[in-house]
Structure 1
Amino acid sequence: MIHKVKGAVVRAKNAPVTIETVLVPDPGPGEVLVDVLTSGVCHTDLHYKQGGISDDFPFLLGHEATGVVNAVGLNVVNVVPGDRVILNWRAVCGNCRACAKGQPQYCFNTANATTKMTLEDGTELSPALGIGAFIEKTLVAAGQCTRVDEDVDPAAAGLLGCGVMAGIGAAINTGAVKRGDSVAVIGCGGVGSAAIAGAALAGATTVIAVDRDLKKLDGARKFGATHTIDSTAVDAVEAIRELTGGFGADVVIDAVGRPETYKQAFYARDLAGTLVLVGVPTPDMVVELPLLDVFGRGGSLKSSWYGDCLPSRDFPMLVELYKQGRLDLDAFVSERIGIEDIEAAFTKMGEGSVLRSVVVL
């Protein structure tokens, strides 16, 4: 059976988002058809629109989503129709060298649906991050579905599908923040704010938010920041050192992903401290650091892929913390919009006036 539904498509580099009729087949073996409830407007979707991910246009945008299982294909055992799920882009294979080492959070062979969604003229669509969730129904691999409780706001829970998980995981999983640590987060957008929340959850006693936007700094406090630094007014590295006894932070998280912020993070660490890069750079960016400083400061320089998360482990745990009132996912939802408002949401994202716009299907 073919399902005719509406979806948000970008046909060419920097072309406007258009709402198109998309043909979605029933799921094949190992696949799941999902009725999408909500999907956050993530910066990665904008990267797809701008051609910064690949040139496999046209793209079906959206990936930060919650939905309900509509139907399952052969050999699917982890979900059944009616299950509430958060979609993820790390469907671990269980067989690659990372999985064999017991590190499925680094799986090198994650699965996507192989059955294609198309436009009415037969043009195959490339779903963003193998999901494509700005649509009424989408087709994903079974491993991209993580069951969660139904008694949570789908708009909030769905943000765990990408940005919020990336930030929280950068602190808890990649940075291994411990009780009593000092943490600095450079960049207080959605991912950076989530990193602040993750550091607070892990028990950091000094959590320093760094940004150029005073509104974002004000917002960072509600996620757990104990101090804020306006990097347009002071030297961020020196300010972080002043707040940490002159030493630098135990963990510094770069949630921007630019050479300038990476250098700030590098020098704002304490000796033997940890730097975590979770902001996504562009292919042309290059960092130059004196090799002697890399050697002499010691510690760890890490990149965080999707917050080094394991969705089957981390999503239910974070949803439970949300239900207990210990993780305010609602605070990340700046606005709820229709599918026709995605282009305007990208503009607001560029202006820095929202943490997340969430499309309600």
Structure 2
Amino acid sequence: MSQKVNGVIAHSKGKAVSVETVVVPDPGPGEAVVQVQACGVCHTDLHYREGGINDDFPFLLGHEAAGVVESVGAGVTGMEPGDFVILNWRAVCGQCRACRRGRPQYCFSTHNAARKMTLAGGRELSPALGIGAFAEKTLVAAGQCTKVNPAIRPQVAGLLGCGVMAGIGAAINTGGVGRGDTVAVIGCGGVGNAAIAGARLAGAGTIIAVDRDERKLHTAELFGATHTLNSRVSNAVEKIRQFTGGFGADVVIDAVGRPETWEQAFFARDLAGTVVLVGVPTPDLMAPEIPLIEYFGRGGSLKSSWYGDCLPSRDFPMLVDLHLQGRLPLEQFVTEEIGLGDVEEAFEKMHGGDVLRSVVVL
């Protein structure tokens, strides 16, 4: 039998979100209903509200979440009601060309729940990233649920479902940061600070945080930055070279996703260094014009990081364990805990750079 719950809805581009009744159907084959306990407010949710992802309004926002499985549909194995899970938006298929080649983190056919959640009047909702977790309960594909140690607080566990995983994975999985490497991270919001934390976990020797906001640079030091650089007052490329013996960084991570930051990352790396783009560009942005000889002359790698190139079943439990061991300070990402009715205000705080993460607690 379907259930009625409260959820945060975006009806049209730029319009303030509202809390409304959402109808959650029983799970179909391969699906699960999850009682959401906490969900982070991510920039991607704001992009949905602003029409920056697509125009499939109305959206049920929220995707950076953790909770408890309430019920499962036919054919679901390895998971049962009562399991504590982190939700992910890349449920791998196991059958596509990437999965068959042993690279499921690049799965080209990820899937979501087939049944639809609706408004009380019957209008179908588009759940953000196939999750829709600014709601008391949500319907997802069972593969979007990753079981983890329930000893972790939901307020911090859910952050691994998107932004923190994207940043840590950009450093470790995509960038391949190793012991003693020099790393620069451009943009010190949630994803950028997670990349700094990931570089620290990987044993990087020098970690340079780059931003235009002194508040964010101070926070970056808490996550492991050894050097900070305000690009509003200093030339980022020159200073990164100065901090790395004149060579440039082994790995430069662009956590902003703008032409100017990508160009900074390109020229701030060492010869044969790696650039990782994890900041999400808007569709109108174009790559900077750089002479082709510059690509040839530097060698190395230019990479895009999709969800931190993570495999949730592998990475989420490991990162939860690292947190419980005191080696990954996830609690430092949480600026405030709020309710469903506070999401619009959280978006405004995000615009002003006043929060690292607001987390909705249900």
* TM bracket, shorter-chain basis: over 0.9
Are residues 1:6 and 2:18 paired? no
Amino acid of the structure 2 residue aligned with 1:142: A
Are residues 1:139 and 2:135 paired? no
Amino acid of the structure 1 residue aligned with 2:264: Q
Q: Residues 81-96 of structure 1 correspond to what in structure 2 (within 5 A)?
A: 81-96=81-96
Are residues 1:66 and 2:44 paired? no
Equivalent-residue separation in structure 2 for 1:115 and 1:302 (angstroms):
35
Q: Residues 320-331 of structure 1 correspond to what in structure 2 (within 5 A)?
A: 320-331=321-332
Equivalent-residue separation in structure 2 for 1:56 and 1:332 (angstroms):
30
Equivalent-residue separation in structure 2 for 1:72 and 1:257 (angstroms):
38
Are residues 1:153 and 2:159 paired? no
Q: Write the deviation string for residues 273-301 of structure 1: whole angstroms up to 9, x where unpaired.
A: 00000000000111121111011110000
Equivalent-residue separation in structure 1 for 2:292 and 2:335 (angstroms):
42
Equivalent-residue separation in structure 1 for 2:79 and 2:158 (angstroms):
17
Task: Give SS of 1:272's match.
Answer: strand
Equivalent-residue separation in structure 2 for 1:286 and 1:184 (angstroms):
23
Amino acid of the structure 2 residue aligned with 1:353: D
Amino acid of the structure 2 residue aligned with 1:83: D
Task: Give SS of 2:74's match.
Answer: coil
Where does residue 314 of structure 1 map in the other structure?
315
Matched residues, number: 361
Give the CA RMSD over aligned residues. 0.4
Equivalent-residue separation in structure 1 for 2:149 and 2:77 (angstroms):
18
Q: 4+ residue runs of structure 1 moved beyond 4 angstroms? A: none
Residues 91 and 110, structure 1, Cα contact 8 Å, conserved in 2: yes
Task: Give SS of 2:6's match.
Answer: strand
Q: Write the deviation string for residues 199-256 of structure 1: whole angstroms up to 9, x where unpaired.
A: 0000000000000000100000110000000111110000000000100000000000
Equivalent-residue separation in structure 1 for 2:188 and 2:255 (angstroms):
7
Task: Give SS of 2:191's match.
Answer: helix
Amino acid of the structure 2 residue aligned with 1:207: I
Amino acid of the structure 2 residue aligned with 1:64: E
Where does residue 203 of structure 2 map in the other structure?
203
Q: Residues 260-299 of structure 1 correspond to what in structure 2 (within 5 A)?
A: 260-287=260-287, 288-299=289-300
Equivalent-residue separation in structure 2 for 1:338 and 1:167 (angstroms):
26
Where does residue 350 of structure 2 map in the other structure?
349
Unmatched runs of 5 consecutive residues or more in structure 2:
none
Equivalent-residue separation in structure 1 for 2:263 and 2:85 (angstroms):
39
Q: Write the deviation string for residues 22-70 of structure 1: whole angstroms up to 9, x where unpaired.
A: 1101100000000000000000000000000000000000000001000
Where does residue 240 of structure 1 map in the other structure?
240
Residues 22 and 118, structure 1, Cα contact 8 Å, conserved in 2: yes
Equivalent-residue separation in structure 2 for 1:118 and 1:314 (angstroms):
32
Equivalent-residue separation in structure 2 for 1:290 and 1:155 (angstroms):
46
Residues 78 and 142, structure 1, Cα contact 8 Å, conserved in 2: no
Unmatched runs of 5 consecutive residues or more in structure 1:
none
Q: Residues 99-114 of structure 1 correspond to what in structure 2 (within 5 A)?
A: 99-114=99-114
Residues 40 and 357, structure 1, Cα contact 8 Å, conserved in 2: yes
Where does residue 360 of structure 1 map in the other structure?
361
Where does residue 192 of structure 1 map in the other structure?
192
Residues 199 and 207, structure 1, Cα contact 8 Å, conserved in 2: yes
Percent identity over the alignment is 72
